[in-house]
Amino acid sequence: MGVQDWTYILVGITFTLYIGIAIWSRASSTKEFYIAGGGVSPWANGMATAADWMSAASFISMAGIISFAGYDGAVYLMGWTGGYVLLALLLAPYLRKFGKFTVPDFIGDRYYSKTARIVAVFCALIVSFTYVAGQMRGVGIVFSRFLEVDINTGVIIGMLIVLFYAVLGGMKGITYTQVAQYCVLIFAFMVPAIFISIQMTGNPIPQFGFGGELADGSGFLLDKLDGLSTELGFAEYTEGSKSTIDVFAITLALMVGTAGLPHVIVRFFTVKRVRDARKSAGIALLLIVLLYTTAPAVAVFARTNMIETVSDKPYTSMPEWFKKWETTGLISFKDKNEDGNIQYLANKEENELTIDRDIMVLANPEIAKLPNWVIALVAAGGLAAALSTAAGLLLVISSSVSHDLIKKVFKPSISEKGELVAARLSAVGAVVVAGYYGIHPPGFVAAVVALAFGLAAASFFPAIILGIFYKRMNKEGAIAGMVVGILAMLLYMIKYKLGWFDETLPDKSEWWFGISPEGFGTVAMLLNFIVSITIMKFTPAPPEDVQDIVENIRIPSGAGDAVNH
C-alpha cells in the first residue's frame, strides 16, 4: 500500500479511538469539565501531562530547529525539560494544595481582587492563543502533506476534531484521550528513530547512534555532518553561534515560562491528593525525557540525509517525497544559474533551495526510504502531539471565560448547567480564533510556541512564585507586575518578531542587549518582579486571612497532626 493509504488507515484508527474515548468519558458536571472530577490516577495523569506537554513544537518542530541550528538548538532542550522540573518541584504541589481549578482562580483568590483575576484571565488568553496557533499550524502541515490538501484545509479539519472531544468531554474526555495520544506519539517518534539509527550507525539506540561511528566505518556521524555543513558554507553543526546572554535568556524564559503555563498547571488539579500530584509529575518527566533525549538524534539523522539527498543533485532526479512536499509550498527550488542542479548553500544569493524546518521530522522517514507504514505512523504521531496540546489549551481558554470571568466576576449566580454551556460555547469561539492564527501564524511552530512561553514567564511566573512563597505580597504589586510584564513582552514581540512598527523587520543588531524575541520573556519577567516588589513596599499588606492561607499551603499535609501529638 502507498503512504496515503496507510495514512488514511492509521489516522482513521487513531481519530476513531480519540472520539470514542471522548464519548465514553463525556463530562456531566463542571468539576468533570474543568478537572476530570479530581479522581485521575497518577499514571494516567502522568501520561496525559506528558502528551499535553509534548506539543507539535516538541514532536514536529524541535528536532527541525536543532537540525538547522545545530548546537544553538540545545536551548530548547534545556529550557523545556528544565522548566518542567521547576514546575513539578516548585509549583505543582502548592497550587494543588491551594485547590483552585485554574491559574486565574489562584491569582484572583490569593490576591483577593477581581481586577487581579481579570488581568490573569487576559494573560491566560494571550498565552493560550499564541500557543495554540503553533499547534494548529502543526496540524495543517501534517494534513497538507499526507492527506494532500492545502494547509488551510488541514487546519480546519484539525479544528473540527479538537472541537468535538474538547467540547464534549471537557478535561475528563481530554485526559483519557491524551493517555491514548501519548502512546501514539511516542511510538511514532521512536520507531523511525530506531530504524534510521540502525541504518546509519548499526546502533539501535538513537541516543547513542547519533554520537557513534557510521555503519560503513568511515568515521563518526557528527564529524561527517560538520564536514557537510562547512562544505555548503554553514557553520559547523556542533559549534554554537548565539551569544551567551541570548542562550541564557532563551533557556530561562522557556524554563520559567513552563512553570507559568496554565494548561500544564491545571493537570495537577485532576488527581485526588497532593502526593499524587508529585507522583504524576515524576512519571510525566520520565515519559517526556524519552522523546527529548531522542530529538537531537532525529535532528542529526534528518539533516545528514537531507543534505546528501538534495545538495548538488539534478532537480529531475529528486525522489517522490521531494515533489510531494513541493506541492505544500514547504520546500521550494529556484534554479538561479539554470544548470538544472540544486545548489543548497548558506549564501542566500546563491542558494536555490528553501526548506521549512517544520518538515524535517515528518519527511525524515521518507528521506531515509523507510517502509510506508512508518511514514504514515509519523503523520499520526504528529497529529496526536498537536491535537493533545490544542485540546488542553482550548480547555484553559473556555474555563478562563466561563469560570473565571462569567462565574467569578460577572454572574456569580449562574447555575452549574449554565456555566457548563458557557464553557462549551467558549471552547467553540476559541477553536475559531485558534484556527485563524493557525492559518496566519507569526512564524514556524516552535518559534510561535517559544513566544507563548515568554508571555507566560513575563506574566504568571512572578505572580505565582511570590503568591506562594511571600505572604507579604499584595494585590497592588501583583497586578502592576503582571500588566508591565505582559505589555513589555507583547511590545517587544510585535516590534521584533512581527514588525508591526516598521516597514521591514528590524535587524538582530537592534535587539535589546542582544536578546532575541524568544528570550525577551526573561527581561520582561525581571521587570515584573521589580515592579511587583516595589509597588508592594508602598502599599498595604494583604489581609491576615490571606497571609494565613499562604502560610498553610507551604506546610506538608499531616504536619500539623504530627506537631500536635
| DSSP string for residues in 253-287 | HHHHHHTT-HHHHGGGGSBSSHHHHHHHHHHHHHH
Lowest mean pLDDT among 44-53, 374-383, 389-398: 389-398
The 3-state DSSP class for residue 516 equals coil
Please report the beta strands in 325-451, taking only residues with DSSP state E, as ranges in sequence order: 331-333, 353-355
User: pLDDT band at 463, cuts 50/70/90?
Assistant: very high
- For residues 53 and 83, give the distance between their C-alpha atoms in angstroms, rounded to a whole number: 11
Lowest mean pLDDT among 36-45, 73-82, 281-290, 419-428: 36-45
Nearest residue to 129 (alpha-carbon basis) of 434, 417, 395: 434
The 3-state DSSP class for residue 332 equals strand
The 3-state DSSP class for residue 353 equals strand
Is the confidence at residue 170, as pLDDT, over 70? no
512, 520 Cβ separation under 8 angstroms: yes
Is the confidence at residue 445, as pLDDT, over 70? no
Among 242-246, 261-265, 276-280, 521-525, the range with the most confident prediction by mean pLDDT is 521-525
Between the two ends of the chain, the Cα-to-Cα distance in Å is 71
Is the confidence at residue 454, as pLDDT, over 90? no
Q: Please count the other Cβ atoms lying within 10 Å of the Cβ belonging to residue 337.
A: 9
- For residues 137 and 437, give the distance between their C-alpha atoms in angstroms, rounded to a whole number: 8
- For residues 80 and 71, give the distance between their C-alpha atoms in angstroms, rounded to a whole number: 16
- For residues 181 and 385, give the distance between their C-alpha atoms in angstroms, rounded to a whole number: 7
282, 88 Cβ separation under 8 angstroms: yes
As a whole number, mean pLDDT of residues 293-304 equals 91
To which H or E segment does residue 164 belong?
helix 151-201
Is the confidence at residue 172, as pLDDT, over 70? no
125, 400 Cβ separation under 8 angstroms: yes
User: pLDDT band at 476, cuts 50/70/90?
Assistant: very high
Q: Give the pLDDT score at 34.
A: 54
As a whole number, mean pLDDT of residues 502-531 equals 82
Please tell me whether the overall predicted TM-score, pTM, comes out greater than 0.75 for this model. Answer: yes
As a whole number, mean pLDDT of residues 350-358 equals 85
All structural domains of the chain with their residue ranges: 3-309+367-442
Distance of CA 118 to the CA centre of its chain: 24
- Torsion from C-alpha of 143, 180, 396, 60, nearest 10 degrees: -40
Alpha helices in 202-329 (DSSP H): 206-209, 221-231, 244-258, 262-265, 274-292, 295-310, 320-328
The 3-state DSSP class for residue 48 equals helix
**C-alpha atoms less than 13 angstroms from C-alpha of 203 in its C-beta half-sphere:** 16
CATH fold for the domain made of 3-309+367-442: Sodium/glucose cotransporter (1.20.1730)
Q: What is the DSSP letter of 542?
A: P
As a whole number, mean pLDDT of residues 55-62 equals 78
% of the chain with per-residue pLDDT over 90: 13
As a whole number, mean pLDDT of residues 190-214 equals 90
Q: What is the DSSP letter of 58?
A: I
Q: CA triplet 294, 299, 301: central angle to 5 degrees?
A: 95
The grid coordinates of residue 544 equal 491576615
Q: Cell numbers 479530581 label which residue?
A: 38
The 3-state DSSP class for residue 377 equals helix
306, 355 Cβ separation under 8 angstroms: yes
- Higher pLDDT: 302 or 244? It is 302
Q: CA triplet 360, 366, 372: central angle to 5 degrees?
A: 135
Is the confidence at residue 390, as pLDDT, over 80? no
- Torsion from C-alpha of 11, 13, 15, 17, nearest 10 degrees: -150
The grid coordinates of residue 149 equal 490538501
Q: What does the mean pLDDT of the chain come to?
A: 81
Is the confidence at residue 562, as pLDDT, over 70? no
The grid coordinates of residue 398 equal 473556555
297, 323 Cβ separation under 8 angstroms: no
- Alpha carbon separation from 157 to 137, 191, 194 (Å, rounded): 12, 26, 31
Q: Give the pLDDT score at 190.
A: 92
- List of residues 6+ apart from 487 with CB closer than 8 A: none
**Percentages helix, strand, coil for the chain, rounded to the nearest 5?**
75, 0, 20
User: pLDDT band at 522, cuts 50/70/90?
Assistant: very high
**What size, in residues, is the chain?**
565
Lowest mean pLDDT among 16-30, 182-196, 330-344, 516-530: 16-30
Distance of CA 146 to the CA centre of its chain: 22
Nearest residue to 375 (alpha-carbon basis) of 79, 90, 7: 7
CB neighbour burial string for 216-246, b if at least 16 within 10 angstroms, e if fewer: eeeeebbebbbebbeebebbbbeebebbeeb
Q: Give the pLDDT score at 297.
A: 92
- For residues 516 and 146, give the distance between their C-alpha atoms in angstroms, rounded to a whole number: 34
User: pLDDT band at 525, cuts 50/70/90?
Assistant: very high
